């Protein structure tokens, strides 16, 4: 997270002397001054004094509120003057991107005091992390799975830990890290601070807080800020049939002309397909999803930040924690089922006083979800008419007029007089000007579609009731309507845990943790619930996946009543019945 951006985005000032009044040590205050920070954000102002006092804390805060500095600065206060060689603070985050960003923030704040911070996450050779930890470290930032690995190896000592931070806790639980998180919490038996930040507060978060925190201070900067943050963003939705969504997205973006846009899709397959479509339309689009290795992801982010790419198409999981200040538009290619996810997404634009734009492409059946979002944000989402061919033509001509108008103010126009002089004898100036405009207009990629896109504007008549809301937010337990079941040929004997199944399915298929479940694990196989409409996609996505070092067949599961022994009924259609690599581990395949 770019903490300077977070500071710029925060609302309000204080008369209490800024960061100096919070009780931070002089070298940290000097680092903040060098970075240009003047006033703490609301969550920093409320959180830092309690953490410096050694209290546990339960904070509800979303991206853009400044929460990284809210826990990073107090954690750095714990670093001894001699700096030591054992970590005094451990920060758990859901993704490797966020691990790197949080680690960079620690480096910026603590470089004057010589504090050492090491990020540990999957996708990077573990020997590099082992070497860094062996050299001595003050702060460790990591994903739960890799932290568990280091604890098991004895490379991450916990006996000096004085603060444990769970950042984006709700996302870690949705990704299936619940067991790993509890294992880490239980691995630190001595007294220490436990700090928990989450964008939402589902019952599971409160359950962890009750078990592992002692009289925590509760901070909430979401409830009073949801409407304000949404108010910075111009929100609109277009209701279109699914088959027309790629064309509708291109049409809308052609008219909006974003400086940089982040497009959210549900699955990695959809990400790849849409990226290809938008590139064919003339956009410099890049894909970002869990099927890419770290080097690929780094190249994509560098292209977006330096302006080489103008459109990033990503899944929610892959984009978690991303914060790019060049973004002007966020697009929900599908309506997120959880309204909190919508708020989290649009929080990436509309910052530092700039207007952001949130565009949602809703299928007719998804309009009820828009109403759920409106209730949370207390802001209307205007249903716009999908731009027609004539609208697009007019917008493109207006963009050409504006570009030429800017060029008229250039100082070097006389350099091009020889071209005009050479053509003067062939046509009058008006005709020459029109020909030049035509060349520029076409060179800018302003081609016009000839196909009109059908639109739907009517809201559904039935109101969105509490039962609907419960089904949308249901994250497990009893199966909801439209749930299908998968048979996975691995069970307790293979060491399979629920988070292994949720993590692998979420990363491979693009489903969220809330869409996966219920889960039943037997000695030799597992049964997992997924949305009925996605079951074949999940089966195909999981056909080569290795879970805990083993390849298990994945197929649709059908319960035909009581079964005995190892007899299980399922449909014949399957993927991966046989292990294509025998007992050998596939080289280069995704493993969990």
Lowest mean pLDDT among 20-34, 340-354, 514-528, 546-560: 340-354
Contact 510, 318 (CB under 8 A): no
pLDDT for position 10 = 32
- pLDDT on residue 156: 95
Model confidence band, residue 223 (pLDDT cutoffs 50, 70, 90):
very low
Residues 184, 143: contact at Cβ < 8 Å? no
Half-sphere exposure of 39 (CA within 13 A, CB side): 11
Q: Which residue has the higher pLDDT, 114 or 3?
A: 114
The secondary structure of 256-323 as a DSSP string is: H--SSEEEEESSHHHHHHHHHHHHHTT--EEEE-TTS-HHHHHHHHHHHHTTS-SEEEEEHHHHTT--
Higher pLDDT, 116 or 548: 116
Q: What is the DSSP string of 172-197?
A: HHHTT-HHHHHHHHHT--S--EEEEE
How high is the pLDDT of residue 332? 94
Architecture of the 474-575 domain: 2-Layer Sandwich (3.30)
Q: Which two tokens stand for residue 518?
A: 């219920």
d(CA 37, CA 398) in angstroms, rounded, equals: 40
Average model confidence (pLDDT) for the chain?
78
Provide the pairing of β-strand 311-315 with 285-288: parallel
Report the alpha-carbon distance of residue 319 to residue 97 in Å, rounded. 8
Place of tokens 């004539």: 390
How much is the pLDDT for 434?
Answer: 85
The confidence band for 445, taking pLDDT boundaries of 50, 70 and 90, is low
In which band, very low, low, confident or very high, does the pLDDT at 154 lie, cut at 50, 70 and 90?
very high
**Residue of 64 and 576 predicted with greater confidence:** 64
Once rounded to an integer, what is the mean pLDDT over residues 90-107? 89
Helix residue spans in 408-530 (DSSP H): 417-423, 429-443, 466-473, 498-509
Report whether 214 contacts 56 (CB < 8 A): yes
Strand partners, 344: none
Sheet strands side by side (includes 329-332)? 285-288, 311-315, 261-265, 329-332, 356-362, 233-239, 382-383
Mean pLDDT is lowest, of 223-232, 277-286, 471-480, for 471-480
Percent of residues, the chain, with pLDDT higher than 90: 25
pLDDT, one tens digit per residue, over 70-89 is 999 999 999 987 667 899 99
Report the alpha-carbon distance of residue 305 to residue 326 in Å, rounded: 7
Task: Report d(CA 314, CA 264) in Å as an integer.
Answer: 5
Looking at per-residue pLDDT, the higher value among 208 and 267 belongs to 208
Question: In terms of DSSP H, where are the helices of 89-202?
Answer: 96-110, 126-134, 144-153, 169-174, 178-186
The DSSP call for residue 85 is S
**CATH T-level assignment (fold) for domain 3-220:** Rossmann fold (3.40.50)
Nearest to residue 63, comparing CAs of 206, 256, 199?
Answer: 199
Mean predicted confidence (pLDDT) in 155-171: 93
Residue intervals in the chain for CATH 3.30.70.330: 474-575
Buried b (16+ CB within 10 A) or exposed e, 351-380: beeeebbbbbbbbeebbbbbebbbeebebe
Residues 497 and 422: their CA atoms lie apart, in Å, by: 77
pLDDT score of 348? 76
Domain with CATH 3.40.50.300 in the chain: 3-220
pLDDT in tens, 428-438: 888 888 888 88
Kindly report, residue by residue over 322-349, the tens digit of the pLDDT: 666 778 899 999 887 667 678 878 877 8
Query: Which of 90-94, 128-132, 415-419, 481-485 shows the lowest mean pLDDT across its residues?
Result: 481-485
Give the model's pLDDT for residue 544: 74
Section 37-46 average pLDDT? 81
Banded pLDDT at 585 (limits 50, 70, 90)? very low
Given a contact cutoff of 8 angstroms between Cβ atoms, the answer to whether 84 and 136 are in contact is yes
pLDDT band for position 418 (cuts 50, 70, 90): confident
Is residue 303 predicted with pLDDT exceeding 70?
A: yes
Give the confidence band of 575 by pLDDT, cuts at 50, 70, 90.
very low
pLDDT at 583: 42
Rounded Cα distance, 332 and 514, in Å: 18
Give the model's pLDDT for residue 572.
Answer: 35
pTM of the full predicted structure?
0.49
Render the burial of 149-188: b for 16+ CB within 10 Å, e for the rest. Answer: bbbeeebbebebbbbbbbbbbbbbbbbbbbebbeebbebb
The candidate with the shortest Cα–Cα distance to 48, out of 28, 27, 19, 83, is: 19
The pLDDT of residue 17 is 54
């Amino acid at each position: 997270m770019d903490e300077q951006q977070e500071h710029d985005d925060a609302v309000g000032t204080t008369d209490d002397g800024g960061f100096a009044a919070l009780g931070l040590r002089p070298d940290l205050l000097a680092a903040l001054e060098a970075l240009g920070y003047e006033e703490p954000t609301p969550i920093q102002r409320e959180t830092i004094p309690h953490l410096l006092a050694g209290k546990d804390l339960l904070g509800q805060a979303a991206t853009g509120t400044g929460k990284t500095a809210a826990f990073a600065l107090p954690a750095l206060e714990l670093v001894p003057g001699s700096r030591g060689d054992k970590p005094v603070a451990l920060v758990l985050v859901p993704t490797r991107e966020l691990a790197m960003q949080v680690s960079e923030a620690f480096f910026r704040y603590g470089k004057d005091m010589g504090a050492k911070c090491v990020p540990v996450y999957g996708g990077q050779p573990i020997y590099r992390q082992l070497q860094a930890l062996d050299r001595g470290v003050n702060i460790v930032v990591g994903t739960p799975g890799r932290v568990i690995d280091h604890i098991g190896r004895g490379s991450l000592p916990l006996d000096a830990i004085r603060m444990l931070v769970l950042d984006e806790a709700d996302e870690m639980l949705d990704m299936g890290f619940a067991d790993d998180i509890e294992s880490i919490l239980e691995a630190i038996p001595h007294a220490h601070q436990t700090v928990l930040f989450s964008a939402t507060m589902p019952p599971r978060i409160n359950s962890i807080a009750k078990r592992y925190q002692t009289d925590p201070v509760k901070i909430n900067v979401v409830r009073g800020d949801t409407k304000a943050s949404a108010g910075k963003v111009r929100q609109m939705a277009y209701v279109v049939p699914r088959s027309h969504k790629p064309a509708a997205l291109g049409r809308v973006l052609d008219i909006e002309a974003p400086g940089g846009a982040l497009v959210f899709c549900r699955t990695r397959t959809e990400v790849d397909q849409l990226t290809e479509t938008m590139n064919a339309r003339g956009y410099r689009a890049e894909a970002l999803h869990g099927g890419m290795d770290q080097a690929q992801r780094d190249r994509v982010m560098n292209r977006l930040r330096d302006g080489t790419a103008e459109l990033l198409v990503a899944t929610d999981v892959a984009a978690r924690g991303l914060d790019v200040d060049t973004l002007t538009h966020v697009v929900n290619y599908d309506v997120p089922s959880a309204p909190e996810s919508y708020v989290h997404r649009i929080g990436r634009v509309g910052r530092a006083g700039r207007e952001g734009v949130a565009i949602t492409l809703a299928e007719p059946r998804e309009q009820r979800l828009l109403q759920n979002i409106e209730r949370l944000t207390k802001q209307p989402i205007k249903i716009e008419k999908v731009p027609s061919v004539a609208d697009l033509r007019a917008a493109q001509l207006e963009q050409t007029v504006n570009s030429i108008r800017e060029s008229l103010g250039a100082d070097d126009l006389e350099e091009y007089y020889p071209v005009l002089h050479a053509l003067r004898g062939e046509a009058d100036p008006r005709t020459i000007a029109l020909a030049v405009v035509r060349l520029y207009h076409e060179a800018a990629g302003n081609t016009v579609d000839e196909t009109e896109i059908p639109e739907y504007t009517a809201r559904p008549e039935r109101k969105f009731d509490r039962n609907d809301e419960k089904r949308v937010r249901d994250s497990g337990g009893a199966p909801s309507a439209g749930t299908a079941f998968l048979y996975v040929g691995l069970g307790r004997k293979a060491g399979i845990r629920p988070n292994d199944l949720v993590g692998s399915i979420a990363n491979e298929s693009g489903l969220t943790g809330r869409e996966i479940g219920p889960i039943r694990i037997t000695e030799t196989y597992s049964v997992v619930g997924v949305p009925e409409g996605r079951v074949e996609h999940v089966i195909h996505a999981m056909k080569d996946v290795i879970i805990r070092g083993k390849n298990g067949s994945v197929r649709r599961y059908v319960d035909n009543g009581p079964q005995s022994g190892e007899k299980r009924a399922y449909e014949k259609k399957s993927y991966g019945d046989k292990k294509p690599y025998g007992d050998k581990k596939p080289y280069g395949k995704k493993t969990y």
